[in-house]
Every structure is written in C-alpha cells, then in structure tokens.
Amino acid sequence: MTLAESNSARADTKHATRHFKLHSDGLDPESTLDGGQAFRWWRVPDSEDAPTYDGVIGSTAVRVTAVYDSAGVDIAVEVRSDDAPTGFQAIVTDYLGIGSDISELRSHFADDPCIGPAIAGFSGLRLLRQDPWECLVSFICSSTSNIPRIKLNVNSIARELGQRVGSGDADFTFPAPDVIAGTGEQFLRDLGLGFRAKYVIPAAEAVACGGLDLFALREASYYEARATLVRLVGVGEKIADCVLAFSLDKSEAFPVDRHIRRALERWYGLPEGINNSKASDFARERFGRFGAVAQQYMFHRERLSQRANWGGDHTVHALPEDR
C-alpha cells in the first residue's frame, strides 16, 4: 500500500482496533525489526522480558511486543496513532512477513554448514515486506555507513519532512518522493547524509515523476527489476538486492556486502577476494528462492559472532535458543 492509499484508507475508519494479537509462529522482533532490514524501529527501554519495539508502518505508529503464552510466542500490536486505516491488522501481518513458511527453509537447509545451525537454533528471523520507497532511500544511505548512522540519517529525513503520527520522538511518516525531491542535495547534506545526498535526490525525482514505478517492480522478474534499480545513480547490485529482498518480493535476491562475502568464503570455500557479484551468483545458485531469507540468517549470525559475549566458535551453541 502506498502512503497515499493508506492516507485515504485512514479517512474511512476512525475506530480501528487499538490492540490486537497476531499468530506469528515465533517471530523475533529484535532480529527481524532491528537486524538491519529496517532502520526506523526502536527498542522500548526495559523490555527484556518481552522484547518491544516502537515504529511506524505507513502512517500509523505502533508498538510491537513479543508475547510468551501457552500457545508459544506471539505478537501483540498496539496502535499508538489516533487512528489506523481499514484492515490495519492485515497491513501489519503483511509488513512483518507473517505467513512465510520458515519450516520449508529448515527442511531444505538443515545440513547447511552456515545457516543450518542458525535456523535450527533460532527460527524467529523473518523477511519484512517494507514500503519500497523508504527501503530504497534507507539502503542508499547504507553505503559505506554503519547501522547506527543509517538509522540516524533515515530518521532525520522522517523527522524533518514526514508527518507526525504519534507522540514519540520518531513517530513520523516517511516523506513521499516529491517531498524529498523538493528539498535538494544541500538540505540532505545538512541532515548528515554526506555524499549519499547526491544519490537520494535523483532517485526521489525519478519516483516522483513516475519515471520509476517501484511497485510495478513487484510484478517484474528478479533480473528485470534489478536492472531497473541499478540504473539509479548510487544504486549498485548490493543496494538493489536489499531493496528487492526487503520490499519487492524477490525472495531469490542475495545481497553481498563485506560481511556476507567473508561468510561465503569461510563456510562455502569461495576463493578469498572473490568479487561480490560472483559471490552473489554463487549464493543464488545455491539457495534459489530462499536466497533472501538465507542471507538474513547469515548476516544475523555474522553480527552475533562479532559480539564479545557470543564468542567466536561460530557453532550452534553460540546462537540464541528458541524460547
């Protein structure tokens, strides 16, 4: 759903349910919402017992909590905006990737040297289905950056140019392409985007004028969609693959960055120094339509292995267990 659609839907209902639960089959909010797919989710302080995140989906501010009950882990959603669009429960379900069958990934790759142990010990990581425009800008911002800074940049854009939809510090919509296009490169530089500012503006103009229809890429083939995205200045294969995987339904996309390349070299014997494009080809060949989710498990594992308290033996024992 586009921002415009969600805004018009919003006018229809003023009385959406403010609290609801979703059967998520064990979704883990931390790794899914704050694991590097999306950059506008914030951990609610002191929520160790029930990991809780605040964020905005479309034009609605929400609070997402992992609930542990007798039926297993489930997800509780609280609407923090004044109202929510019709069918908001379905919108959240869609956004969170609930319904994707993780058991199929397990059965196919249980014996995989890298992600086998990861999915055996930890099945809560899901692929989000984000808004393509926000996703595109987020990953343009990711170039030679780090996750804290990407979050800073993307949230600065929302705070300065989006509409307020809640009382929290980060409760803003992500601004539409024409709004961003109307500001200019210097404005984004002043927000701290650095050289990435000169990539965001042309992308915003292309989407705003209709020259680039991001939603149409959901219907296109993987290679066709990737070729389209890569035409944007500042969007190479890695960033295109992230947008394709996290917002455009391309489950075979396999973004390769320095971490993933290192993992592929270590676990699958790829020659050291192989270029990212070839590494991505190898992974797509190996993982097929599970590429995108496999890459997330790989990325998650690499991140954990770098944290001191997770040790460095890279075994299943170094991974968090299902609760």
Partner DNA sequence: GTCCAGGGTGAAA
Partner DNA sequence: TTTCACCCTGGA
The reply on whether position 145 binds DNA by CB under 7 A is yes
For DNA, what does the binding mask look like between residues 23 and 62, x meaning CB under 7 A? ------------xxx-------------------------
Q: How far is the CB of 34 from DNA (least distance, A)?
A: 10
The reply on whether position 260 binds DNA by CB under 7 A is yes
Q: How far is the CB of 148 from DNA (least distance, A)?
A: 4
The reply on whether position 142 binds DNA by CB under 7 A is yes
Applying CB under 7 A, among 3, 125, 204, 239 the residue interacting with DNA is: 239
The reply on whether position 227 binds DNA by CB under 7 A is no
Distances (CA, A) of 102 to 8, 93, 108, 123: 34, 15, 10, 7
The reply on whether position 164 binds DNA by CB under 7 A is no
Q: Which is nearer to DNA, 11 or 147 (CB)?
A: 147
Applying CB under 7 A, among 9, 135, 203, 235 the residue interacting with DNA is: 235
Q: Which is nearer to DNA, 166 or 234 (CB)?
A: 234
Q: How many residues sit close enough to DNA to count as binding (CB under 7 A)? A: 39
The reply on whether position 118 binds DNA by CB under 7 A is no
238 flagged as catalytic: yes
Applying CB under 7 A, among 135, 232, 294, 304 the residue interacting with DNA is: 232
The reply on whether position 295 binds DNA by CB under 7 A is yes
Q: How far is the CB of 233 from DNA (least distance, A)?
A: 5
The contacts of residue 179 (CB under 8 Å, 6+ apart) are: 161
Q: Which is nearer to DNA, 54 or 302 (CB)?
A: 302
The reply on whether position 230 binds DNA by CB under 7 A is yes
Of the candidates 14, 21, 198, 238, the residue annotated as catalytic is 238
Q: How far is the CB of 303 from DNA (least distance, A)?
A: 8
Secondary structure (H, E, C), the chain: CCHHHHHHHHHHCCCCCCEEEECCCCCCHHHHHCCCCCCCCEECCCCCCCCEEEEEECCEEEEEEEEEECCEEEEEEEECCCCCCCCHHHHHHHHCCCCCCHHHHHHHHCCCCCHHHHHHHCCCCCCCCCCHHHHHHHHHCCCCCCHHHHHHHHHHHHHHHCCECCCCCCCECCCCHHHHHCCCHHHHHHCCCHHHHHHHHHHHHHHHCCCCCCHHHHCCCHHHHHHHHHCCCCCCHHHHHHHHHHHCCCCCCCCCCHHHHHHHHHHHCCCCCCCHHHHHHHHHHHHHHHHHHHHHHHHHHHHHHHCHHHCCCCCHHHCCCCC
Binding stretches for DNA (CB under 7 A):
35-37, 142-149, 152, 189, 192, 194-195, 198, 230, 232-240, 242, 255, 257-260, 273, 275-276, 295-296, 299
> Catalytic positions, please?
238
